[in-house]
Amino acid sequence: MKSKFAEGDRVVADPHGLGRIGPTGVDKGETYVAVKLDVGKTLFLPAAKLDESVRALMSKAEAERLLSELRAPPEPLDARRLDERVVDAKRALVKGSAPERARALRALYGSKYRLSRAEQRLVAMFEMALLAEIAEVVGVRAERLGRELHAAYPAFAEAAPSRPEEPPPAAPKPPIVVPGYEYLGAFQLEGERLAIGDPPYTRSRNDPANTTVAGARRNTLVSAKKGRWHGFIHPGAEGRPGALFAVHEERLKTFVRDAAKLRPIAQLRVDGGQMAVVDAAVRDDESYQDAMSFRMSSNGLVRDRGCMSESGFGDGVYVASALTEGGVALIVGVDFAAEGVPPGLKNAPPGTQLGRH
């Protein structure tokens, strides 16, 4: 089907912002269209999905309405914790409509306190994604429009006070002390399997039958015992996670000893710097995908149905292992480092590559 966009057209590639349709090319039999973003990057999008991936600029009437909203007097201060405010803003940036983004940007602008670094980064991303489009449609320079709006809000004033320091969130209390491990919290396995992988890759569309690449999968599914599970991180080098574990409650007391019995089950590809262990019954639920995508820290629970962490050495291929009884897993783990991990994760067969690639 022919696209409604032609080479040279101005478009918006949410959440990256403005761009221009570039030339078409073919790679391995598939046709791609280059979209040159104003921020200096180029996206190569499948031609068949171009109309789903970019959109036309908003109308002048909508741009003027959103600009009027941004120019309105500040609303009452959002007094929630920084992590709650930032997570909601990230969700609006990536998944929200233009009006939702405008409301989120106005909420960031509306602080009576000096913006934190996290808030400053979000403001810059919202302005790149939204304000630049509004400015182009109404015919003003984005920099000028940004200066005008900043001057109208107290958060950008030199004399703006710093927000009072917030106490850190309370750390979850482990049911037993496991020396040398960071406890992430408890979650419930209500289904019959755990999905393990880079968070976006835990979706069913990425299951191994369709996504095995050079021996490395996007995810792996393991039959696991229902009930209460606990997440742990084994620290690695330079303060990075060395391994992520999920442990069924009945194996908590013998967890460290049992780690020596784990055996490799898959090599998993990571492209987003994170790893998750989640109840496969909820992996296609958008609320759980959002819980993995929009967060302040990569290390923690996936609501009440899984746990996740940074992949200690970034993107690459990592080994997942499991301890099973009768074909049902009681402990699963993912190794992020070739050295300094528990003995149970050193049982990969000869030639297995661990860590960053």
Q: Could you give the CA distance from residue 54 to residue 18 in angstroms, rounded to a whole number?
A: 10
267 strand-pairing partners: 319
**Tokens 């003995």 label which residue?**
343
> Position 235: which residue type?
P
**Considering the entire predicted model, what is its pTM?**
0.78
The reported pLDDT for the residue numbered 210 is 63
Asked if pLDDT for residue 11 goes beyond 60, the answer is: yes
Asked if pLDDT for residue 339 goes beyond 50, the answer is: no
The reported pLDDT for the residue numbered 341 is 45
Q: What is the DSSP letter of 127?
A: I
Q: Edge-to-edge strand order for the sheet containing 306-310?
A: 219-223, 193-197, 274-279, 306-310, 300-301
Region 20-38 average pLDDT: 94
Q: What is the CATH number assigned to the segment(s) 10-53?
A: 2.40.50
Domain ranges of the chain: 10-53, 60-156, 182-346
Weakest mean pLDDT among 183-192, 209-218, 299-308, 343-352: 343-352
Q: Could you give the CA distance from residue 179 to residue 253 in angstroms, rounded to a whole number?
A: 12
Q: How is residue 153 written in tokens?
A: 């809000």
Q: Which residue has the higher pLDDT, 237 or 204?
A: 204
Which residues have a Cβ under 8 Å from the Cβ of 314 and sit 6 or more positions away?
270, 273, 356
List pLDDT tens digits, range 111-139: 889 998 889 999 999 999 999 999 999 99
Q: What is the CATH number assigned to the segment(s) 60-156?
A: 1.20.58.1290
Region 189-217 average pLDDT: 87
List alpha helices for the chain, DSSP H: 50-53, 60-71, 82-95, 98-109, 117-126, 132-138, 142-152, 208-211, 255-258, 286-293
The reported pLDDT for the residue numbered 350 is 33
Residue 84 binned pLDDT confidence (cut-offs 50, 70, 90): confident
> Position 33: which residue type?
V
- CB half-sphere exposure, 153, CA atoms < 13 A: 26
